[in-house]
Amino acid sequence: MRAETFLAELNRLRKDLDEDPTDLEWVTLHHVFCFVSYQMGAFQKYVDEQAEKGAFDDLET
């Protein structure tokens, strides 16, 4: 599993909403997307650790 897959899905969710700085859902998705994109190395390490534990075994990709 690649961190980019999760980042792409997070971006899709963010883009599904109208950009609205007064909407907590949009603000949350936007800032989580920004943070994760800046921390891709650390996030990939986390994803790798979770994959080893089988966290994504049931996920259809």
Tell me the per-residue pLDDT of 16-49, one tens digit each, with 9 for 90 and over: 999 999 999 999 999 999 999 999 999 999 999 9
pLDDT of residue 61: 64
Helix then strand then coil, % of the chain, to nearest 5: 70, 0, 30
Q: Global pTM?
A: 0.85
Confidence at residue 27, expressed as pLDDT on a 0 to 100 scale: 97
- Check whether 12 has a pLDDT greater than 90: yes
Question: What is the per-residue pLDDT for 60?
Answer: 76
